[in-house]
């Protein structure tokens, strides 16, 4: 029958196709598998085939279509393999390899990682939490209710159309979340980015980084805190480092103190950093206020603790003699490349 002969002729064309390039492969696809391919008209001849032969004719058409698809896939695989072999044979293995350009860690990351390592050596565990916080964990749990004057100390970024969700102003909110879900003893450090609505200048920015520490257990004393911070100062600034504690105020600690390290006045750099006093303020600290423990469902009659907070940018600026805090946030590669050797 004429229709069957057409199928046999197309099948022979397909099987004997010699395709060696991508252009010819595309022409093959269009001719036998495209929307207006050579096989499609044969389906229209089904109506002219006697009923007793329709089944065989339909199977022959499907076999023809499958043969075209298999031939196309086979040709494509062969062409791609030949291209890969040719590419390999053209490689000159004696040529020198390309130099891998390595980046460098940010000075803030360098200082933060160093501080984390110091505290991990004495049993502090790193805890991280969300940067978008709610008012309770950021303020109320830390003994700063709505009418507390301490809220005026921190200009806060609130989310649009919200008076309860905000960008955290300190990582103390991490402490609050840990205390509400973990029984003492608690010994953690909370590194992370914080935000305050401050004027950007050479010495201040609206975003910066902190590491806050918290230790809660039975019979924790102010002396324990001082010894921990002295250990930190000697590890951070050198074994001969001296510290002093000055009375201060924080709503979540009582008593509270500022910690200074002795930098001396031997050089112009230390004079500038210490404003001529020789002492550089590095962190705030204090004994956790009993009200904070109560807010977080910890019995202040049984447990006590201390907390401290360290500004990373200030330490990075001191360590690497950086005069402008804005350099730490501008992502200028010329500035960052200076720290490649500090990895």
User: Rounded distance, CA 32 to CA 154, Å?
Assistant: 73
Domains along the chain with CATH numbers = 2-89 (no CATH), 107-342 (3.30.930.10)
Residue 209 class from Cβ within 10 Å (0-12 exposed, 13-18 middle, 19+ buried)? Answer: buried
pLDDT at 89: 63
b/e burial code for range 268-291 (CB count within 10 A of at least 16 → b): eebeebbeeebbbbbbbbbbbbbb
Question: Which runs of consecutive H residues, i.e. helices, occur in the chain?
Answer: 2-15, 22-33, 40-44, 51-89, 107-120, 135-138, 172-181, 222-237, 268-274, 290-295, 312-320, 333-336
CB 157 within 8 Å of CB 195: yes
Residue identified by tokens 């492969």 is 25
Task: Please state, in angstroms and as integers, the Cα–Cα distance from residue 43 to each residue in 1, 31, 72, 153, following that order.
Answer: 15, 16, 21, 82
pLDDT at 69: 86
Task: Please state, in angstroms and as integers, the Cα–Cα distance from residue 341 to each residue in 103, 106, 110, following that order.
Answer: 10, 11, 11
Q: Is the pTM of this model over 0.75?
A: no
The mean pLDDT values, 10 residues at a time, for the chain of 343 residues are: 73 80 82 80 76 78 82 83 71 75 84 96 95 93 80 78 88 95 95 91 89 97 96 93 94 94 82 83 95 95 96 88 88 83 57
pLDDT at 299: 96
pLDDT at 50: 79
Q: Tell me the Cα Rg of the chain.
A: 36
pLDDT at 161: 84
pLDDT at 173: 94
Taking alpha carbons only, the member of 48, 63, 55, 53 closest to residue 7 is: 63
């Amino acid at each position: 029958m004429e229709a069957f002969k057409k199928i046999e002729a197309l099948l022979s064309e397909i099987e004997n196709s010699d395709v060696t390039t991508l252009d010819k492969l595309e022409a093959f696809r269009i001719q036998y598998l495209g929307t207006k391919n050579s096989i499609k008209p044969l389906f229209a001849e089904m109506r002219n085939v006697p009923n007793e032969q329709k089944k065989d004719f339909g199977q022959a058409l499907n076999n023809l279509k499958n043969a075209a698809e298999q031939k196309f896939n086979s040709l494509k695989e062969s062409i791609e393999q030949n291209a890969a072999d040719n590419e390999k044979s053209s490689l000159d293995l004696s040529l020198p390899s390309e130099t891998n350009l390595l980046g460098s860690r940010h000075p803030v990351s360098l200082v933060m990682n160093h501080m984390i390592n110091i505290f991990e050596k004495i049993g502090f565990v790193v805890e991280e939490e969300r940067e978008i916080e709610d008012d309770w964990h950021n303020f109320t749990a830390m003994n700063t209710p709505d009418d507390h004057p301490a809220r005026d100390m921190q200009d806060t970024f609130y989310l649009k159309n919200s008076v309860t969700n905000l960008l955290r102003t300190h990582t103390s909110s991490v402490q609050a979340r840990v205390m509400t879900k973990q029984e003492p003893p608690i010994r953690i450090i909370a590194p992370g980015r914080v935000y305050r609505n401050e004027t950007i200048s050479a010495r201040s920015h609206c975003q910066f980084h902190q590491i806050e520490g918290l230790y809660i257990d039975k019979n924790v004393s102010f002396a324990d805190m001082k010894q921990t911070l002295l250990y930190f100062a000697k590890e951070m600034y050198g074994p001969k480092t001296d510290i002093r504690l000055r009375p201060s105020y924080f709503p979540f600690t009582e008593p509270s103190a500022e910690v200074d390290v002795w930098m001396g006045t031997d050089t112009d750099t230390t004079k500038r950093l210490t404003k001529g006093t020789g002492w550089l303020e590095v962190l705030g600290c204090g004994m956790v206020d009993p009200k904070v423990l109560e807010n977080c469902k910890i019995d202040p009659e049984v447990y006590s603790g201390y907390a401290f907070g360290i500004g990373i940018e200030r330490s990075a600026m001191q360590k690497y003699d950086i005069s402008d805090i804005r350099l730490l946030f501008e992502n200028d590669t010329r500035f960052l490349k200076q720290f490649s050797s500090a990895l």
